[in-house]
Amino acid sequence: MTTAQAVSVADARNSLAEILNRVAYGKERVVITRHGKQLAAIVPVEDMELARRLRRFVARRDVDRALRELDAGRARSWEQLRQELGL
């Protein structure tokens, strides 16, 4: 994976069409910054889809693990979960 190019908000505003073309067709990744701090990223749609699939995969694994713990009688109680989460 290539590193993302940092672009200031002002520069992004002035060259948005060019940035979008580089991202869409050149598969570049661009991080928008303000005063040197990262604010947002513009990434190819394929990157976004991959991230979405990875989140679903991780969520399914978490659910599967939780169901196995329930079946094995190892599930934590509601009170234990509340304490772990600081609720």
* pLDDT one-digit tens code per residue, 31-83: 999 999 999 999 999 999 999 898 888 888 888 887 888 788 877 777 887 88
Query: Strand 37-42 to strand 30-34: parallel, antiparallel, or no bridges (unpaired)?
Result: antiparallel
Whether residue 22 contacts residue 28, with contact meaning beta carbons closer than 8 Å, is answered with yes
Question: What is the set of domains in the chain, with CATH numbers?
Answer: 5-43 (3.40.1620.10), 46-85 (no CATH)
Q: What is the pTM of this model?
A: 0.64
Q: Token pair of 18, please?
A: 């060019």
